[in-house]
Chains A and B, each alone.
Chain A
Amino acid sequence: GQQVMQIPQYQHVQEGEDFTTYCNSSTTLSNIQWYKQRPGGHPVFLIQLVKSGEVKKQKRLTFQFGEAKKNSSLHITATQTTDVGTYFCAGPGWTGNQFYFGTGTSLTVIP
């Protein structure tokens, strides 16, 4: 079946350092969504990318969708303690019959 992997699984950074998580799907995704789950919380929608090669920014967060629509990345510039949490990518396959979540990257920011 379709798999969506994220690397790294865990990342510890000093506050102020940059952070990047990569999302790779075994098949093409029609769109990619990113979610953030704070410790003890539930996943919350961050953004959706639809077009091949699309790049979107939200303040210090930059999201990119690969040209082949099989990979994506989330880059955080100058991390803050409020960025702590697990970041998931997700998206439907081209068959459109299921929503797939990535394995997640857990970010720890050391003050």
Chain B
Amino acid sequence: KAGVTQTPRYLIKTRGQQVTLSCSPISGHRSVSWYQQTPGQGLQFLFEYFSETQRNKGNFPGRFSGRQFSNSRSEMNVSTLELGDSALYLCASSLGQTYRETQYFGPGTRLLVL
């Protein structure tokens, strides 16, 4: 089975721009979660999508949004980028039946905001 894939792997943007990141989960997985990882803050939960619906949301401003398509692929969008948005953005997929399941992470998208 192919693993979780994320595109692009690296991205450089300037303040005020917007960015869209993509995540393709493992085949058969219906849940996709997004995390922001920075050296000082660890893994911060952004949101989780299941069957095209946002099921959970972390404490991030409305500039961070996402969506999930019928094939379970998910996108995350960040508008009006700020310097502090520079981070590794990870997505993780799971079957989504319960919250006891293993999370399978993608390689991440490393975003640098200048």
Contact = CB atoms under 8 A, between A and B. Distances in A.
Contacts of A99: 33, 45, 48, 99, 103
Q: Which of under 10, 10 to 19, 20 to 34, or 35 or more describes the interface residues of A?
A: 20 to 34
B100 interface: yes
Chain B binding surface SS class: strand
Q: Which of under 10, 10 to 19, 20 to 34, or 35 or more describes the interface residues of B?
A: 20 to 34
Interface in A67-106: 88, 90, 92, 96-104
Contacts, number: 55
A30 interface: yes
Chain A binding surface SS class: loop
B106 interface: yes
A42 B106 CA distance: 7
A103 B42 contact: yes
Contacts of B59: 1
Interface string A1-44: 10000000000000000000000000000110101000001111
14 contacts: A31-B100, A35-B105, A43-B103, A45-B102, A45-B103, A45-B104, A48-B102, A88-B43, A92-B99, A97-B55, A99-B33, A101-B42, A101-B43, A103-B42
Report, nearest first, the 9 A-B pairs whose CB atoms are least far apart. Answer: A92-B99, A42-B105, A101-B43, A45-B102, A103-B42, A43-B105, A98-B56, A96-B99, A31-B100
